[in-house]
A and B are shown apart, each in its own frame.
Chain A
């Protein structure tokens, strides 16, 4: 299908749109002839594409290319509204989907509960076949039995079939023939050797099944959106979808690989924040997105890190995703005393309804109310032009927890201290626990509440500076717009490199050449043949270990290079290496990358129109504090100061200074003492 279009790689980025569909708002970032425009519209959850089309019509925008962050896959999983799906697996293993790793999700639950599997037992089928750990066929695939199973599935509603046989990642021949037969019968097939050719049968089966469950829904949604986009445009519109790992792929591929998009939206935020940091010259970044109910943090040590251990509702999803850590801490998080008398904040949130007391309907004390009491959120500021802050109401709410603190201001500070401790713990998990020193990083703050807390968190972790990108409210959409087009291919291997081995490793060479061709072909199908770079990596461990580290192998993959890269990564992550222990290559990975838009995303921050003035704000004590709008910050500002803009508020505490950068970002640094 790509062949009928112009080669995409030769096209300019003339009219490029990044659009992030969130639960409440759909954010637009539109690039036209080098100029950036941003907008926000309410989302339309019943048909997420409608908000996109309506927005485009309203703004009169006609993009040639749209990069879309979609919550369709996530929501379909969480609400269990995917396609009826059947599973075919090795005899003896059809309950693997339920047994999982046999652990209960909560150690101390009086009555533990688990989510139902995506495929009920009556749609889980077994066939006789078995492949051993070394790839030899112990029992051949029973084709007659397979045909009988397909007959039975044909009599159910399931038209999507997941196939997962043991050790197919080492020898896929049984899965290949089963997939071929099922496809010839008209079923949509997700085969595990294609979706996730890696060891551990439950995790592979879970990921494959999720893909089978999502693919038909995703394909339907994207087909419809694509045709609507084309209807209102003169020529072709290219639609790309953000993947969980921060790269994008064509809509057609996204439908077939739907499971690779479950973290689509948050991936845009991390990619956007990292790109902003890189542009400003701070590639060692920790991203920090705080909204109404939760905060997401991610570590980017000069690159986007990927993880493969995502779990959604007890289902492992092992395809690569941005390495995001989420904590239930947001502006709406409610403060309360537990029965032992400790102050806790969250994870319950006042959400959008009733919302914080300061917004006029809620009564429970929240983080937003604490900021309002302390004067850090300003009543004169228009919150997205929609809400007036009710300071008295916020004060009333906080006064309900003030008794042990001696004053309402003291209680408000305590609320912020506790929520900061929760978020600092999350930042510690992603940095210190992985062997990274926060002193070498920049904290990139965005989301409605991120820049309010960023300097406090930086203090707690010893991070020297905070970066607030120009449009922190639509950063995810910006991250989508600038995303690279990427396609991944993996291969489980289980080969060992001894401490004395030297020279090229035959099986690894062979695997890399196969999967790099697969990745190149995939990105070619997406319409990108030239300017494609292949990146190599492998999941490595010491022989006998059972957790792997994904290590980049772009500088060569002969025995010495692999070994050295792994020793180095092990030292970085765990503080030591075992030079005398053989290194096991568990999975080889290739990523085909075609660079997306690389240009300035500097946009003039929309000023909220308020005048600069001085008020009393409670920090360590009450201090005269300048309040100014972001648009009016044209030189360095010493704290204490509060900088407001339509979509967020930046606090510059005493001892910190904010400097505007040429890109439109704001750099907040701790003063030299």
Chain B
């Protein structure tokens, strides 16, 4: 099973070494970034690759980045040949990115003492969700139709050449975003993480020697592959189908279906999304890497705890993704919600298929949305522009062992909320309520988790965009459990007499608010598991 040189101990030791490099990059990025989105919410990932761009280790806080990082390394190949000190930046969803706010940096790693003509021994990459990257709405997640409306599109370009900053490129980017100082700080944090990762990989490479390093990285990937195959061998074999859908695309009201045919045989898995809706002139389109990430995420949940994260894990997994569909979008459509919302529904679809083959193991559907709120305006306290992004949790699905968690993030995200006390110090906002939404979890032997009620008051006029899901549909129950409650968005407007009127808002909308207005999010509950006892 193992090559003679790479014994099972060396494998574990090497995995521990490359993983700590990815983690160290993550620690450096998080601690030096400026925006709350990266520091408080940890909306970023760092990864280490071999010379062919295969993932060796990833410090992922965000599952949606799982299968998408290797695409970035592939996308920067067009910039070859590399020189030491080069560093590429990109966010183009159709060229290695996911959605525009996720800005990715990739840099080649050269061996210590490498000559001018030597090829890189590997790559390091970091991806961070930037709070604003321009476009038609603050926060760069508008209810859009075209990609170009969502923000500045950065194809893979060099940000550093031979260790020198390409200042024109930096200037161009910063001139196109709403909060350039904050962006510059976050970019610098990403650059520092990249440089750290480069040094550490070069050190590791010289410790192992060129041949030893190559052999060990190959052995690590083979090992990942064996882990997945071993897990798939334990599952029932056969074909299962499931369909779920998005509420709407933000422009029309009709549901948008996602269909899956899952085939498990021997030690392989095939995901066929034929029959899924064609891409829309809307932002709910997911690019193929996002779809793959969602499937990898579910597989990863079925693997043992402490499973390392590398490309080998995903070798036994194959896909049929219909071209120009909402699970494999192509230019020129918008994609912001594909990353955050459609990815959740893809998980629900895959989850539903696995529910049929593992009924005693799989929980019901979780809330299925990140409840995205972006907002921005001019801060009345200091006249400065501000941009803010927050996602909110909902109820998790009930499962065979226990009820679903209340008010937590599920599946493709796990970002932290911004504390009211941090938020109110930083922005002209006030959180007036952050509570569990009673009775919103689906009933069942194990009930679904409850969603939450989060009410945010605006202290000055602002533009707000909501990108939310499960507003007309619901998170389904499993094994006879009931569905969770749909979510609800509303605007509480202060009347002249101080009382408030409440107006329902659609799931996806951009709206102007005035000082004193409150945006009220009631997030969906999770599905219940098993039949409820009669009351």
Chain A residues close to B by CB (< 8 Å): 91-96, 98-99, 101-104, 106-114, 121, 132-133, 166-167, 169, 199-203, 337-345, 404-405, 414-415, 417-418, 421-422, 424-425, 428-429, 432-433, 494, 542, 544-547, 573-576, 578, 581
Contacts and interface: CB of A to CB of B under 8 A. Distances in A.
A391 to B, nearest CB: 22
A104 B409 contact: yes
Interface string B35-74: 1100110000000000000000000110100000000000
The listed residue with most A CB atoms (<10 A of its CB), out of B12, B192, B401, is B12
Contacts of B522: none
Given A109-B305, A421-B13, 10 more contacts: A92-B455, A98-B406, A103-B414, A107-B414, A108-B305, A108-B307, A111-B363, A167-B424, A343-B11, A494-B425
A102 B455 contact: no
Contacts of A547: 30-31, 39
Interface in B288-316: 297, 300-307
B374 interface: no
Nearest to A200: B419
Interface of B: 1-2, 7-13, 15-17, 20, 23-24, 27-28, 30-36, 39-40, 60-61, 63, 181-182, 185, 192, 196, 223-224, 226-227, 230-231, 297, 300-307, 361-363, 392-393, 396, 399-402, 405-410, 414-417, 419-422, 424-425, 430-436, 452, 455
Given A133-B425, A404-B2, A110 B399 contact: yes
Contacts of B16: 421-422, 424-425
A215 to B, nearest CB: 24
Contacts of A133: 421, 424-425
B409 A110 contact: no
B39 A546 contact: yes
A574 B192 CA distance: 9
18 contacts: A93-B420, A93-B434, A95-B407, A96-B434, A99-B393, A99-B452, A102-B416, A102-B417, A107-B63, A108-B305, A112-B396, A169-B421, A199-B425, A338-B304, A343-B7, A544-B35, A547-B39, A573-B31
B434 A99 contact: yes
Given A102-B407, A340-B223, A545-B39, A574 B414 contact: no
A111 B529 CA distance: 12
Nearest to B223: A340
Contacts of B24: 428, 432-433
A581 B185 CA distance: 10
The listed residue with most B CB atoms (<10 A of its CB), out of A91, A133, A494, A573, is A133
A404 to B, nearest CB: 5
B363 to A, nearest CB: 5
Nearest to A344: B12
B414 A104 contact: yes
A190 B370 CA distance: 36
B241 to A, nearest CB: 21
A257 to B, nearest CB: 23
B7 A544 contact: no
A337 B8 contact: yes
Contact of B405 (A93, A104, A121, A200): A104
Contact of B301 (A95, A108, A578, A581): A108
The listed residue with most A CB atoms (<10 A of its CB), out of B304, B363, B400, B425, is B425
A343 B306 CA distance: 13
B415 A103 contact: yes
B32 A574 contact: yes
Contact of A103 (B36, B60, B63, B409): B409
A546 B422 contact: yes
Given A98-B436, A110-B301, A341-B223, A421 B405 contact: no
Contacts of A341: 1-2, 8, 11, 223, 226
B224 to A, nearest CB: 7
Contacts of A169: 421
A199 B425 CA distance: 10
